[in-house]
Amino acid sequence: MQEYEAKGVPFVGRERTVPAGELNLWAEDFGAPGSPVVLLVMGAQAQGVQWNDGIVRRLVDGDLRVIRYDHRDVGRSSTVDFAAHPYTVADMASDALAVLDTFGVERAHWVGASLGGVIAQRVALTHPHRVLTLTSLSSQPLGTNTVATVQRALTGLPPLVGHLPPPSAALLDTLLSALPAPDASLPEYLATRLPLWRVLHGPVLPFDEEEYRTMETRVYERTRDARSGLNHTRAGTAAEEFTTADLAAVTAPMLVLHGTEDPMFPPAHAQATATAVPGARLVMIEGMGHTLPTALDTRLADEILRHTALDRA
């Protein structure tokens, strides 16, 4: 358990082990048990603790109960032999629902970052009764074939007509060298990861290397296998039953939050998501890249609180 300060009073993150089939997922919640729940769903290869404590504090201050968790194959959750037991984004969406079930939550506000946004969009289609509101953060529309787009970009081919733009050239170059060795020491691990965060952060906002060093040290200390998170990308290559056009059936109020400097999913991805979901509201965060710097904790939390209040009014 970890203690944080909210409204000047210490409160505790209540850790739980979530059974998801044969797997166990790490999760924790904060805030009053009777408050409306917001489920924070992280992106590929990312741990639940990468939802900044500052964002969690502010959401709890806004009278929400906050749940964050580790996907399978990262952090303190179970790792998977992908060759023997391959899984898909649909399975990761089932994991998210298992988290809510374990905490006894029927309906929640869903906030998904990057791949987490795609997972949340999928749940909004398959289990609409479980979604109070939907926030897609630094993400893209469900049904986007990112892997194919990246493969074309790596071979120097332009995107196919009608396809969304690929990650920036600088990010593609950095991704190729950002994979730590399985037995990497902490200094070796940080040496591969910090250059990636510098590119993901974007060129506009000041880059606080110590902030990212602290975050990645926490990630390293919680990691069972530094490479297992790559299975999330492999899961994303599986055929998806939904297309972007299916998002027209989403009924939950939708907020699309995105950085103007996102090198992973350029702003066209956010615009496509907002266009696909009837009534969706698009908010572009000036200068933000594909990270959640603590300098933006208040802005991001305020946008989420404003959006979730639509259901709580």
CA-based nearest residue to 290, from 135, 158, 113: 113
* Residue 190: how many other CB atoms lie within 10 Å: 19
Identify the pLDDT of residue 162.
67
| Alpha helix stretches (DSSP H) within 35-145 | 53-61, 89-102, 115-126
Calculate mean pLDDT across residues 243-255.
97
Calculate mean pLDDT across residues 79-100.
96
- At residue 213's C-alpha, the angle toward residues 207 and 217, to 5°, is 155
Q: Phi/psi of residue 17, each to 5°?
A: -100, 125
Q: Is 77 a catalytic residue?
A: no
* 157-205 tens-digit pLDDT: 777 656 899 999 999 989 877 788 888 999 999 999 999 999 999 999 9
By DSSP bridging, strand 281-285 and strand 23-30 are unpaired
Distance of CA 229 to the CA centre of its chain: 13
Q: Is a pLDDT exceeding 60 seen at residue 114?
A: yes
Secondary structure (3-state) at 118: helix
| Band (11; pLDDT cuts 50, 70, 90) | low
pTM: 0.94
**Active-site residue among 70, 71, 95, 114?**
114
CA-based nearest residue to 138, from 297, 301, 291, 248: 291
| Contact indicator for 109, 311 with CB cutoff of 8 Å | yes
* Residue 297: how many other CB atoms lie within 10 Å: 18
Mean of the per-residue pLDDT values for the chain?
92
| Alpha helix stretches (DSSP H) within 103-230 | 115-126, 146-154, 169-175, 186-201, 209-222
The structural domains of the chain, ordered by start, are: 2-312 (3.40.50.1820)
| Contact indicator for 99, 18 with CB cutoff of 8 Å | yes
| Band (4; pLDDT cuts 50, 70, 90) | very low
Q: Is a pLDDT exceeding 50 seen at residue 115?
A: yes
Identify the pLDDT of residue 287.
98
Q: What is d(CA 85, CA 26) in angstroms, rounded to the nearest whole number?
A: 20
* 201-210 tens-digit pLDDT: 999 999 999 9
- Matching residue, tokens 């297309």: 243
* Residue 309: how many other CB atoms lie within 10 Å: 15
Which tops the pLDDT comparison, 225 or 260? 260
**Active-site residue among 71, 201, 290, 307?**
290
Q: What is d(CA 237, CA 217) in angstroms, rounded to the nearest whole number?
A: 29
Q: Is 73 a catalytic residue?
A: no
Q: What is d(CA 257, CA 139) in angstroms, rounded to the nearest whole number?
A: 8
| Band (3; pLDDT cuts 50, 70, 90) | very low
**Active-site residue among 70, 73, 95, 262?**
262
Q: Is 290 a catalytic residue?
A: yes
209: left (phi over 0), alpha (psi -120 to 50) or beta: alpha
CA-based nearest residue to 171, from 209, 202, 213: 202
Identify the pLDDT of residue 313.
53
Calculated CA dihedral for residues 110, 36, 298, 43, nearest 10 degrees: -20
Secondary structure (3-state) at 188: helix
